[in-house]
Amino acid sequence: MRQIHRILGSLILVFTVLTNAGAQGIPPIGLGLRGTPDGGGIDGKFYFTDHVNIEAMFNRSNDNYYNFGPSNTVVGLLEYNFLFKDPHVRIYIGTGIHMAWAREFDESNYPAYYHNHTFMGLDMIGGVEYVFDFMPIGLSLDVKPGMNFYDQLSGYSANDFGFSLRYYFGNWDRRSNYRGPSATGR
C-alpha cells in the first residue's frame, strides 16, 4: 500500500511541476503514448528550440520483433523539425540509437524453449505531427526504420511504424510555435 501511495504522490508531483512549467518559460515537453502494429509504449519529446528536440521511447512488442518472441525496446532520437506557416503542423526527421531485449522460441532446446537476446542498433525517424489549437494535444504518424548490430536479425519489424498521442506541457504558443525565454523577453 505504501508503494501505491509513493507512486501516486510522485505522479502528482510530476504533473504539478509540468503543469506550472509554462509559467516558467521553459521549452515544451510532450508526454504520451505510441502505438505500433504489434504493441506500443511510452513516448516523450523534449524541445531545446522550435527546430530541435530529443525523443525518448519505450516500446513493448507482443511477439513479432524480427520473428522473435516478445521484446522491449528503449529508443533515443535527436530530431529536426520543419516548421510551416500553419503553426499546428510540423514535419520532423531524425536519427538515434536503440537497445532491445527479445526472446527467441527454440523447440530443439527442450525444456528451455526460449533464448534471451540483447542487441543495439541505429534508428532513423520521419513523421508529421499536428498540435491542436484549442488544447496542447499532439497527434503524430511516423516511420522509424532501424538497423541492428546482431547477425541473426533481418527483416521487417512492426515497430517501424507508429502513431503517437502526446500532451504538451511548458511554454507552447499555439499561434506561433515554440516561444522560449529568449523569444518572449523573459
pTM of the model: 0.73
* Cβ-based neighbours of 4, under 8 Å, separated by 6 or more: none
Query: In terms of residues, how long is the chain?
Result: 186
pLDDT value at position 60? 87
- Count of domains forming the chain: 1
Residues 45 and 35: their CA atoms lie apart, in Å, by: 15
Q: Is residue 182 part of a domain?
A: no
Tens-place pLDDT, residues 143-180? 998 887 765 554 446 567 899 999 988 765 544 444 44
CATH of residue 74: 2.40.160.20
Residue-number span of the structural domain to which 145 is assigned:
2-173
pLDDT band for position 124 (cuts 50, 70, 90): very high
